Structure 1
């Protein structure tokens, strides 16, 4: 009778190893997560401070930067424009590229697998939490910026440089579309960082590899001679979310960009699982 009672806890511990809530607690307590949150919270405050230090407009037609001070919606759009090309790429790459190699760097990855934890389950838990963290970050930035901008500049309608306007209510309906597209479009960055993460024990290499691919893609995208080939470059449709701010939304560019990104993401995440399930964990 004693033997079964002693072995049963071991089996239960193995099957319950690394539940999502445990992985979530670990990631929320990481300095990386706290640092990202601090940057996202500080960004709209920094923008408002920079605008306050700047001089008045020279009287010519207002520019996109000048309109950022028109109201909360305009500041939100400006912050997203400023963050889409680089900051959000780094944020997503950090969440997805750091999660696996950090365990290897700490020497805990092999221990987790000896526990034993099924490799697919371990990788799936980390992928889910990284995804939730990235989605939360991409929601926090525009929502927090809208709140800060509303109190700083007022709750006016959105005004585009071409003179088109969206009421505050319409803008609030368009914002989830913008956020949703950003999440889909940055899936390619997530897949790249996650795939690099199972190939290396160095978190910086995984994050830097994904960011470097996006930088090279942006450089190639600036070459007009590529023509239609550029449509397949990661990040080519990064700013297609701006079409959601038109009086009538044209979903064609967002749909094309989302399909390209999802295709790359399927390949990247599929490779990550395929490689990790066959990899010798020695670190």
Structure 2
């Protein structure tokens, strides 16, 4: 069967403009109405309340037993501390899932429903189609990254009050400055997840099984975490995105440290750009109607 094209004859039709096909708002509304978007939003918004209940039942964490204070031990000190704790418990895995879901499901689901061929018959240029889907997927991923800390900030303010960020290393950051530091941490978490987004998006263009794309991205991310735990790899671990995933904690130190976050961002963005390029290259040659 021949490869579907972007129907060049349609480009001469009156009023046709390839760059204006499939506006972002149309794709955003399509994704917003998906049930998985609502479910994921509810899970992220519910996590802070689950932790509050857990602390209420088990009591406030206390690191005095082993003499070592951690971020978890200061969770109930203030709303800012609670937000930092929510990031700490979710950045390693939970926040990987919405990124993999939004980026891995977006193209594969259309292929599974056989609607890609109809989108291109409209015609929507392939590059335009992918850019729209990628932009919306990253937008929803960023929204997921913001939803969790915002929900935690609101719930933490009610439960533990507004106050400075108590540092595990000693001292505290003023409430206003702590919000800025937490904002930097959230931004780094999003950038560090771009490699997961790239993996999921590339896999999404290679299969018509959304679960395969999402599960593959999550699985490879887990493998990266496992490899980072293998200390025998030595300096090779610095090439793994997982090696830098908790570098955002440097933003919650008395003196803001950028080195780890800069290296982690560089590694993640490099892998992501390569994977996005592979996705566009492969999709441009893919037989959509097969």
TM-score of the alignment, normalized to the shorter chain, above 0.5: yes
Residues 112-139 of structure 1 deviation map (CA, whole Å, 9 limit, x = unaligned): 1111110000000000101111111111
- 1:35 is matched with which residue: 36, 39, 45? 39
- 2:275 is matched with which residue: 245, 265, 268? 268
Report whether the alignment pairs 1:226 with 2:230.
no
Identify which range, 80-89 or 164-173, moves more after superposition.
Answer: 164-173
Aligned residues: 277
Report whether the alignment pairs 1:281 with 2:285.
no
Note the C-alpha offset of 1:180.
1.4
> Are 1:95 and 1:134, in contact at CA under 8 Å, matched by a contact in 2?
yes
> Are 1:92 and 1:186, in contact at CA under 8 Å, matched by a contact in 2?
yes
> Are 2:55 and 2:61, in contact at CA under 8 Å, matched by a contact in 1?
no
Q: Gapped runs of 5+ residues in structure 2?
A: 1-9
Report whether the alignment pairs 1:135 with 2:139.
no
C-alpha spacing 1:73/1:13, structure 2 compared with 1 (3 Å): same
Note the C-alpha offset of 1:12.
4.0
> Are 1:71 and 1:157, in contact at CA under 8 Å, matched by a contact in 2?
yes
- 1:98 is matched with which residue: 93, 97, 105? 105
TM-score, with length taken from structure 1: 0.93
> Are 1:14 and 1:117, in contact at CA under 8 Å, matched by a contact in 2?
no
**Structure 1 consecutive aligned stretches of length 4 or more whose deviation exceeds 6 Å:** none
Report whether the alignment pairs 1:51 with 2:58.
no
Summarize the alignment of residues 1-283 of structure 1 with structure 2, pairs less than 5 Å apart: 11-12=14-15, 15=18, 16-55=20-59, 60=65, 63-282=70-289
SS at match of 1:87: coil
SS at match of 1:236: helix
Tell me the residue number matched to 2:5: none
Q: Gapped runs of 5+ residues in structure 1?
A: 1-6
Note the C-alpha offset of 1:84.
0.5
> Are 2:100 and 2:214, in contact at CA under 8 Å, matched by a contact in 1?
yes
Q: CA RMSD in A?
A: 2.0
Residues 38-79 of structure 1 deviation map (CA, whole Å, 9 limit, x = unaligned): 011101011101111114667645654332111101110110
TM-score, with length taken from structure 2: 0.90
SS at match of 1:161: coil
Distance 2:276 2:222 in 1: 20
